[in-house]
Amino acid sequence: MPITIAHLKDQLAAYLDRWPGDAESVAPLLALDGPEGFDRKTMTGHVTASAILVNAAGEVLLIHHKSLDRWLQPGGHVEPADDSLPDAAMREAVEETGIEPAALTLADPVPIHVDVHAIPANPRKGEGAHWHFDVRYLFHCGDAELSPQAEEVHAAEWRPATDLDSAELTERLSI
């Protein structure tokens, strides 16, 4: 069953209970009122889901994204078959890194971070510039072999948490 706006709003309510200072940053997500908010063709912005994978050493798994030429956490667009945002984040992590799902454990059903960021136009994909409303979930990762998806990812590496794209997110990992 596709993810619904009601599910998104429930996730955001739990998130804001924990991180009330983020109310302004999640406002664009709270303004969504229909399934187009999950459709990657919605150029005003759409929801994505990411996985913050942490190993026993406290390192995070980052991928080198081909299109954006940046090191990022695994994540991406929500698909119609995704049952929940944490499921979408896990699916993306598995697809992009090759890690077996059994090696991943959702640490908390409440998002650890929400980030709204601009995505540049990609003429190769026929996409204009748009916004990603990225809902991020923390997963613990056991011993796992990495096999990055060559279509979208140049590499996958365990890196220090300070290499994440958000100081706020890095700080939340140490709480």
Q: What is the pTM of this model?
A: 0.94
* Residue pLDDT, tens place only, 102-116: 999 999 999 999 999
The C-alpha angle 83, 88, 92, rounded to 5 degrees, equals: 150
Domains present along the chain, CATH in parentheses: 5-173 (3.90.79.10)
Low-confidence ranges of the chain (pLDDT < 50): none
As a whole number of angstroms, the distance between CA 112 and CA 123 comes to 32
As a whole number of angstroms, the distance between CA 105 and CA 68 comes to 28
As a whole number of angstroms, the distance between CA 124 and CA 122 comes to 5
* Residue pLDDT, tens place only, 80-104: 999 999 999 999 999 999 999 999 9
Give the pLDDT of residue 146.
84
DSSP 34: S
Give the pLDDT of residue 175.
61
